[in-house]
Amino acid sequence: MSKYVALPKGVSETTFDKAIAEFRKILGEANVLTSGAQLAPYSKTMLAVPDGDKQPSAAIMAGSVEDIQKIVGVCNKYKVPIWPISTGKNLGYGSAAPGERGQVVLDLKRMNRIIEVNADLCYALVEPGVTYQQLHDYIRERNLPLWLSCPAPSAIAGPLGNTVDRGVGYTPYGEHFLFSCGMEVVLATGEVLRTGMGGIPKSNTWQVFKWGYGPYLDGIFTQSNYGIVTKLGIWLMPAPPAFKPFCIRYPDETDIVEIVETIRPLRIAMIIPNAVVISSAIWEAAATIRRSQYYSGTGQIPDEVLRDLAKKNGIGAWNVYAALYGSPEQIEVNWNIVKAFFGKSKKAEILTEKELGDNPAFRYRADLMRGDMNLQEFGLYNWRGGGGSMWFAPVSQAMGSETLKQMQMAKRILGKRGLDYVGEFIVGWRDMHHIVDVLFDKSDPAEVKAAYACFEEMLKEFTAEGYGNYRVNTAFMDKVAESYGPVQRSVFRKIKKALDPNGILAPGKSGIRI
């Protein structure tokens, strides 16, 4: 019997003993966890695979860049793989667990300094452990006129982890990687790289000019395993004098075509400046309602039940959330344009704070669109119950016909195995992130199997139709990497070999290994 709950692939217990002893010397006893009880938070996922598949051998908590440099030295010496996490709240994508059984989780939550917030140039420089709530509080306590952009489970997640995994938010700065500027990265060799202007020793432009000189490197440290990001610059939005969130409801599923056709020109021209959300009826309902209140039969929730639920609760088949930002005068001009566009439709119900002020679904969206913290989206987990969730996230053109096709494909495949279509579209600029939450009961083996099979089938069918996922959970990384073709994969591998010849950093992340 091993004294470890798991061992890294290809590493013997005696070798691992030595690595652990060295980690303890660097970090102290309290920051090196190996017992089953201590590792429980690092092995639990919401995915449709057994938690044992993602069981780490240890979790270690670095406190500084120097700690990390020493840790990668030990990992190279003993060929021990480490999986870095920042706040580890990647729920529905893998949570705090490593990509593969036996990897050591490198938890960076102790590195939680807000190094700088610059209110003149509107940026922040943060470490991995900084949470959105922490940054939000820092800004409010100092009365700085700045707004954050955060993802839906905002308060507990953090800007660095979210941005390096290319997550999105809901303000005009919602495409988070686009609004990041300058990184510090510890490489597998122990070197510390500062990207862009950060290469100039006395530079004060690291957080204001993205490109630096020569090849732009920041991108290769996102959704990758080429380095451990230890600092990230993010741009913050100047707080606008006025803000007008609104909701437009449509009654029928096929209305998605009209919605997207109406929004696209407004969005591309930036009349609507933020990442608009078009949320489906169940997503909307889950803020306050459980599935069992309306349906106890087997199979996918029938359309007529959903229609009844929507009608009784004032929910649309689609619910569009967007906002206008600026001075009251600017907002008035743009509001008239928005009303004229949507007003052409007989079906659109245009609602504002006046009508929906207390509605919890509206409050949740309005908060997100101004970068305020909440955890309302966790309501989704109560819809069916049982703690299973995997995000299926194909990219689509912002064209009505495409979104309808994707929605119908997902709904049909989920329906075959009795799961519901719980989806939303987030309008980027010319693209939409189609986000489908595959919800299932993780304590029911039949539902786990169904969820896995649905995900796999969606991946296959969407790829065959030319659609790719922009991000995926740790159970499907190889399959998504495969869908992007052999040339991309081979280039990723060549870069990996050059930067991390022993393959110690997060092997398997995005399907990349040496």
Q: Which residues pair with 246 in a beta bridge?
A: 322, 352
DSSP collapsed to 3 states, 365-376: HHHHHCCCCCCH
Could you give the CA distance from residue 118 to residue 184 in angstroms, rounded to a whole number? 18
Q: Which stretch binds ligand ADP (CB under 6 A): 73-81, 155-163, 245-253, 342-350?
A: 155-163
136 lies in the site for ligand ADP, by CB under 6 A: no
Q: Which stretch binds ligand ADP (CB under 6 A): 53-61, 152-160, 204-212, 464-472?
A: 152-160
| Token duo for residue 112 | 């939680």
Task: State which residue, 128 or 182, has the beta carbon closest to ligand ADP.
Answer: 128
Task: State which residue, 97 or 281, has the beta carbon closest to ligand ADP.
Answer: 97
Within 165-194, the residues that bind ligand ADP by CB under 6 A are 165
Q: What minimum distance in Å lies between the beta carbon of 111 and ligand ADP?
A: 9
152 lies in the site for ligand ADP, by CB under 6 A: no
Task: State which residue, 62 or 237, has the beta carbon closest to ligand ADP.
Answer: 62
Sequential DSSP letters for 262-318: HHHHHHHTTSS-S--EEEEHHHHHTTT--GGGT--SSSSPPHHHHHHHHHHHT--SE
| Token duo for residue 278 | 């078009």
Residue 511: closest CA among 502, 484, 501, 497: 484
164 lies in the site for ligand ADP, by CB under 6 A: yes
Task: State which residue, 80 or 157, has the beta carbon closest to ligand ADP.
Answer: 157
Could you give the CA distance from residue 356 to residue 353 in angstroms, rounded to a whole number? 5
Task: State which residue, 34 or 87, has the beta carbon closest to ligand ADP.
Answer: 87
Q: Within the chain, how many helices (H) and strands (E) appear?
A: 16, 19
Q: What minimum distance in Å lies between the beta carbon of 194 and ligand ADP?
A: 14
Q: Which stretch binds ligand ADP (CB under 6 A): 17-25, 157-165, 327-335, 493-501?
A: 157-165
Q: Which of 6, 11, 72, 228 binds ligand ADP (CB under 6 A)?
A: 228
Q: What minimum distance in Å lies between the beta carbon of 505 and ligand ADP?
A: 8
Judge residue 3's burial from the number of C-beta atoms within 10 Å of its C-beta, 0-12 exposed, 13-18 middle, 19 or more buried.
exposed
Which residues lie closer than 8 Å to 182 by C-beta, 6 or more apart? 125, 194, 195, 196, 197, 198, 206, 207, 210, 218, 231, 232, 233
Q: Residues 459, 465, 400, CA angle at the centre, nearest 5°?
A: 105
Q: What minimum distance in Å lies between the beta carbon of 113 and ligand ADP?
A: 14
Q: Which stretch binds ligand ADP (CB under 6 A): 154-162, 193-201, 368-376, 447-455?
A: 154-162
Within 253-282, the residues that bind ligand ADP by CB under 6 A are none
Task: State which residue, 88 or 174, has the beta carbon closest to ligand ADP.
Answer: 88
Sheet (strand 58-61) strand order: 32-33, 58-61, 104-107, 82-85
Compute how many residues bind ligand ADP; rule: CB under 6 A. Answer: 21
Task: State which residue, 128 or 511, has the beta carbon closest to ligand ADP.
Answer: 128
Q: Which stretch binds ligand ADP (CB under 6 A): 60-68, 160-168, 271-279, 312-320?
A: 160-168
Q: Which of 104, 108, 168, 278 binds ligand ADP (CB under 6 A)?
A: 108
| Token duo for residue 409 | 């494909």
Task: State which residue, 94 or 198, has the beta carbon closest to ligand ADP.
Answer: 94
Q: Which of 481, 509, 511, 513 binds ligand ADP (CB under 6 A)?
A: 509
Catalytic residue among 42, 78, 93, 226: 93
Could you give the CA distance from residue 305 to residue 292 in angstroms, rounded to a whole number? 11
Estimate to the nearest angstrom the gap between the alpha carbon of 51 and the chain centroid. Answer: 21
Q: What minimum distance in Å lies between the beta carbon of 108 and ligand ADP?
A: 5
Within 36-95, the residues that bind ligand ADP by CB under 6 A are 84-90, 94
Task: Note if 93 is an active site residue.
Answer: yes
Q: What minimum distance in Å lies between the beta carbon of 303 and ligand ADP?
A: 34
Amino acid occupying residue 389: S
Chain position whose Cβ is nearest to ligand ADP = 161
Q: Which residues pair with 322 in a beta bridge?
A: 246
Catalytic residue among 194, 249, 267, 471: 471
Pairing of strands 123-126, 114-118: antiparallel
Sequential DSSP letters for 17-86: HHHHHHHHHHH-GGGEE-SHHHHGGGT--SSSS-GGGG--SEEEE--SHHHHHHHHHHHHHHT--EEEES
Q: Give the side-chain half-sphere CA count within 13 A for 399.
A: 5
Task: State which residue, 413 or 504, has the beta carbon closest to ligand ADP.
Answer: 504
Catalytic residue among 138, 294, 470, 484: 470
Question: Which chain residues interact with ligand ADP by CB under 6 A?
Answer: 84-90, 94, 108, 128, 157-158, 160-162, 164-165, 228-229, 506, 509
Residues tagged active-site: 93, 470-471
